Amino acid sequence: MSHSHRMSYLFSAVTAALVTMFAVEAYAQNHASNPYSTVEGIWGNLPVGRTWGATSAVYPAQDGSGNIWVAERCGKNNCIDVHDVPPILLFSPSGELLKSFGAGMIVWPHGIFVDNENNVWIADARGGEGRGHQVYKFNQDGELLMSLGVAGVAGEGETIFNQPSDVLVAPDSSIFVADGHGTRGNNRIVKFAADGKFIKAWGKTGYGPGEFRDPHALALDSQGRLFVGDRANSRIQIFTQEGEHIATWTQFGRPSGLFIDANDILYCADSESNATWASNPGWTRGIRIGTIKDGGWVTGFIPDPVEDQDKAGTSGAEGVAADAEGNVYGAEVGPRMLRKYIKK
C-alpha cells in the first residue's frame, strides 16, 4: 500500500471513529414526540397452556391480509430440547393465532422476512442438536423450500454461517444474510442468488466503513439500498446491493431491529443503549421513526416501557415491524412478549 493510500485509509478510519464517538452528543434523539398509544398487555393470543418466549422476529404478511408473522423461542430463550412447540406463528390483525409450524426444526429463531410470494424466511442464529446456524425458507403452510448453511455447523465460507442474525430478499429475488450475531461472529453480509447459489460476501470485524461488530438487522428501501443495523458499533450502515458503502447513520441509536415500510419510513428498535454497560451512553431505548427521504431525521420516538433501563438487561423491542395501517409491533427478548402500538 502506498504512503498516500495509507494516509487516506488512516484519515477515513479516524473520521469514522470520530463520527461514531461524537454522534451521541451531536445527534442523540431521545425526545421526539410519540405518535403512538400502547395496546395494554401482550399482543397475540397463544393457546391455553403456552407462554411467550423471547422474540426478536416480527414481519407483516405480504398478501394484503393484515396478518402478522412472528417467531418466538418456544416459551423460553431457545428451542433446544423442545421438539413439540412450533415457533413460527401467524396472527390475524386482531391477534388471534391462525397457524403455526416449525416444531423441532429451529434452535434460536432470530430474524424473519416475508417475501412478495408470502414465503417466510427465518435466520436461526445458534446451533445445537445438529440444528441451527442456518437460514430457512418456508411457504406459508410451513413446507420447507430451501435451507442455506450447514445444519449445526458454525464456520466461515460460501456455504457456512456463524450465527446468522437476519435475512431479506430483494425484489430481484437476491437473498441477503447478516452473518454474525455478537462481535465474535463472522461480521459480514452474504449475498446469494434466488436458487441459493453464493454470489459474494463483504465485511469483517472492525469499526470502519464496511466493517461490522454484530450486523444484527437488515432492511431495504425503495431505491434498493441495503440498510444494516451494525449494533455493537451503534450505527446503521447503508450499502448498494453489491456491497459499496454509501453512508453511515448514527442518529437512530443502537440498532437491534430495522424495518422500512412502503413509504420509506424507517423504524429502528434500540433495545440495548445503556449507561451501565457503557453501550451507547446518553441514549434512551425505544423505537425511533423517521423518513429516509430527508436524510434520516428522527421524527417520532416510542420509548421503552421499562422505567429504569440502566438496571435492566435487554428490554424493549429488539425486532420491529409496521403494518399497512401504520401500527407498529415490537418483538421483545427481555420481557418475552410482543407489543402493539397504534397511531394516535
Q: Residue 30's pLDDT is what?
A: 81
pTM above 0.85, yes or no: yes
pLDDT at 8 over 60: no
pLDDT at 23 over 60: no
Q: Residue 28's pLDDT is what?
A: 62
**Superfamily classification of domain 28-343:** TolB, C-terminal domain (2.120.10.30)
- For strands 328-332 and 188-192, give the pairing: unpaired
pLDDT tens digit sequence for 314-339: 788 999 999 999 999 999 999 999 99
Q: Residue 158's pLDDT is what?
A: 96
Greater confidence (156 vs 14) lies with: 156
Strand order in the sheet with 198-202: 164-169, 175-179, 188-192, 198-202
Q: Residue 307's pLDDT is what?
A: 77
Q: Residue 182's pLDDT is what?
A: 85
Buried b / exposed e over 298-330, threshold 16 CB at 10 Å, is bebbbbbbbeebeebebbbbbbbbbbeeebbbb
How many C-beta atoms surround the C-beta of residue 145 within 10 A?
12
Q: pLDDT band at residue 148, thresholds of 50, 70 and 90? A: very high
Of the chain, the percentage scoring pLDDT greater than 70 comes to 92
Please choose, from the candidates 52, 306, 333, 321, the residue with its C-alpha nearest in 3D space to the C-alpha of residue 181.
333
pLDDT tens digit sequence for 49-74: 999 999 999 999 999 999 999 999 99
Greater confidence (108 vs 17) lies with: 108
Spatial separation of the C-alpha atoms in residues 29 and 274, rounded to whole Å: 15
Q: Residue 27's pLDDT is what?
A: 52
Spatial separation of the C-alpha atoms in residues 205 and 212, rounded to whole Å: 5
**Among the ranges given (4-13, 44-53, 287-296), the one the predictor scored with the smallest mean pLDDT:** 4-13
Mean pLDDT along residues 98-122: 98
* Average pLDDT score over the chain: 91
pLDDT at 4 over 50: no
pLDDT tens digit sequence for 183-226: 888 999 999 999 999 999 999 999 999 999 999 999 999 999 99
Mean pLDDT along residues 39-57: 96
Q: Residue 126's pLDDT is what?
A: 97
Q: Residue 128's pLDDT is what?
A: 95
Instruction: Please enumerate in sequence order all residues whose Cβ is within 8 A of that of 294, keeping only pairs 6 or more positions apart, or say none.
Output: none
Q: pLDDT band at residue 26, thresholds of 50, 70 and 90? A: very low
**Among the ranges given (165-169, 177-181, 315-319), the one the predictor scored with the smallest mean pLDDT:** 315-319
Greater confidence (331 vs 309) lies with: 331
- For strands 328-332 and 337-343, give the pairing: antiparallel
Greater confidence (25 vs 161) lies with: 161
